[in-house]
Amino acid sequence: MTTNDTLNKILGDGKATRREFLVTAAGLGVAIPVASVMWSNAAKAQPSKGGHLRAGVSGGNVGDSLNPALWTDTFMLSVGATIRDNLTEVAPDNSIRGGVAESWEPSGDATKWVFNLRKGVEFSNGKTLDTDDVISSINLHRGGDSKSGAKGVLAGVQEVVADGKGKVVFKLSSGNADFPFLLSDYHLNILPSKDGKADWQSGIGTGAYVLEEFNPGVKATFKLNPNRWQQDTGFVESADLLGIDDVNARQSAMITGDLEVINKPDLKTIGLFSRNKRIKIVDVPGRIWHAMIMQISTPPYENNDLRMALKYGIDREDYLKKILYGYGTLGNDNPIGKASRYYAADIPQRVYDLDKARYYLKKSGHAASKFDLHAGEVFPGAVDAAVLYQEQAAKAGIDINVVRHPSDGYFSEVWNVLPFCIVWWGPRITEDLILSLAFLSGTPWNDTRISNKKLDELIIGARAELDERKRAEMYRDVQLIISNEGGDVVPAFANLVHAISDKVGVPTDDAGNWKIAGSWELDGGHFLKRWWLNG
């Protein structure tokens, strides 16, 4: 063990006094000023209690309501994660852990899951959580007339029933090893049951905070719930969540000190913004991926040699630098990136290779062809990304013509309609959710029209596989097939980027890396109960 390892272990234990730590450090040959800085940094990293935190986030709408079935963006999912709990939640290390469910067990084929509820959990009105609350909360999103954003997530659920006083049983139409992850979906808040229905109107929940004020799309105010079951979360005494869609307004409020946390700072100006010594940039690898998609059932994109030429004709490093300003990770022409559990790190990274691009272009027989790439500003810099790709591919003799479209109507008139276009996909908490949605043969959102029997078998088989080793191997094969035969050019995955005041404490690991979930922005929406204000 190195000297730093020894000292970090002492700091992590939290048992030594400052004097004892400095004496130990000196004995190990570390200068007192250096040891003092280590002690101060460690002290700052410990959660402080108290204070009022103000956050400005995008995604609010004046039509928002407290009905979780209707939520679509960061403002409301953060409200939900603050005042309510799910059966499960994504932890800061992206693993799954219990929410109001203490534990769970699957059947051997993963078609039945039994969730054991925690004892003594209370809603903020004093009502004790029971199985009726859970069942009515889940059923809010099910049924033929449901308009819930989680209806598809629960599509495989055939029945939800109680088994005794504290057990809820889910019976599925087919095996799903990821089912506990699915129940962390931000729509699936557990609500009190009232007359057999989930009561979302009252704003009552089991969360770390109580909702004091709610002005849809504008402001939500919270105070600490003294009876919260998670006594190790909830550090600030109160908080305001402000809906601010204009990025310049969010950043200006950070600079003036009117906010302590914002999401989505402007990447174009982030360099200048972050020079303010009172501001820190917090980013983590995310599951948002950018893609130029080709419909492989449509000529000329049915030709895999042409698809390979287009994949070798993009400079991913340059894309990451100029479009995401370094706030991302490289893509490898499939939807599973470094933030995913089953990312196959051993698959070689495809690189910008003009010789290979020329070779495959000539082999395809389309060296003299022009390819219309349809683009709209569907993510910040999307049209610039298409133009950059055009310039990069031209060096290999690939003639890309960028056809611009308005962003309004893009996802109804361009994406999934025209054969070659730029798009982005939002984060999905499990590999199966994105694969089943966009890569199974015949599914409505299969935007590349890929239809591969082996791929279908792997996706369906991996979904029910409980053996982690076997499952990882299956997902590795999935990534290889899509990367080598699919219609996606995936240059990069976008990081989840936030700006915080230097007063805000955020968990870090032993190496000093941010320890926050990458399932959605702002620690999966849980930031108000996981972050703190330094005194």
Q: How many Å apart are CA 373 and CA 404, to the nearest integer?
A: 8
Q: How many Å apart are CA 506 and CA 41, to the nearest integer?
A: 12
What superfamily would CATH give domain 207-278+502-533? Answer: Periplasmic binding protein-like II (3.40.190.10)
Q: How many Å apart are CA 172 and CA 180, to the nearest integer?
A: 12
pLDDT at 112 (0 to 100):
98
pLDDT at 25 (0 to 100):
82
Between strands 112-117 and 157-162, the pairing is unpaired
Q: How many Å apart are CA 61 and CA 72, to the nearest integer?
A: 10
User: In this structure, what are the phi and psi dihedrals at residue 162, rounded to the nearest 5 degrees?
Assistant: -85, 145
Between strands 88-90 and 96-98, the pairing is antiparallel
Per residue in 4-47, pLDDT (tens digit) is 767 766 765 555 666 777 788 888 888 887 777 776 666 555 79
Percent residues over pLDDT 70 in the chain: 96
Per residue in 302-334, pLDDT (tens digit) is 999 999 999 999 999 999 999 999 999 999 999
Where exactly are the structural domains of the chain? 3-45, 86-198, 207-278+502-533, 285-494
Which run of H or E residues covers position 290?
A: strand 279-294
Fold of 285-494: Dipeptide-binding Protein; domain 3 (3.10.105)
In the predicted structure, residue 291 carries a pLDDT above the cut 80: yes
Give the mean model confidence (pLDDT) for residues 157-174.
96
Q: What is the pLDDT confidence band of residue 81, given thresholds at 50, 70 and 90? A: very high
CA distances from 521 to 68, 75, 240, 282, 424 (A): 17, 10, 17, 11, 16
Between strands 370-375 and 488-489, the pairing is unpaired
pLDDT at 12 (0 to 100):
54
Question: Of 493, 496, 495, 489, which is closest to residue 291 (Cα–Cα)?
Answer: 489
Per residue in 84-137, pLDDT (tens digit) is 999 999 999 999 999 999 999 999 999 999 999 999 999 999 999 999 999 999
In the predicted structure, residue 481 carries a pLDDT above the cut 70: yes
Give the mean model confidence (pLDDT) for residues 273-301.
95
State the DSSP code for 173: S
SS3 content of the chain, % helix, strand, coil (to 5): 30, 20, 45
CATH dotted code for 86-198: 3.90.76.10
- Please state which of the ranges 21-35, 252-266, 271-285 shows the lowest mean pLDDT: 21-35
pLDDT at 510 (0 to 100):
81
pLDDT at 37 (0 to 100):
72
Between 509 and 42, the more confident residue is 509
In the predicted structure, residue 3 carries a pLDDT above the cut 80: no
How far is residue 273 CA from its own chain's centroid? 24
The SS3 of residue 94 is coil
The SS3 of residue 427 is coil
Question: Under a CB-based contact definition with an 8 Å cutoff, are residues 532 and 235 in contact?
Answer: yes
Percent residues over pLDDT 90 in the chain: 86
**How many residues are given for the chain?**
535
Give the mean model confidence (pLDDT) for residues 133-154.
94
* Mean pLDDT of the residues in the chain: 94
pLDDT at 144 (0 to 100):
86
In the predicted structure, residue 183 carries a pLDDT above the cut 80: yes
Between strands 52-57 and 209-215, the pairing is unpaired
pLDDT at 43 (0 to 100):
57
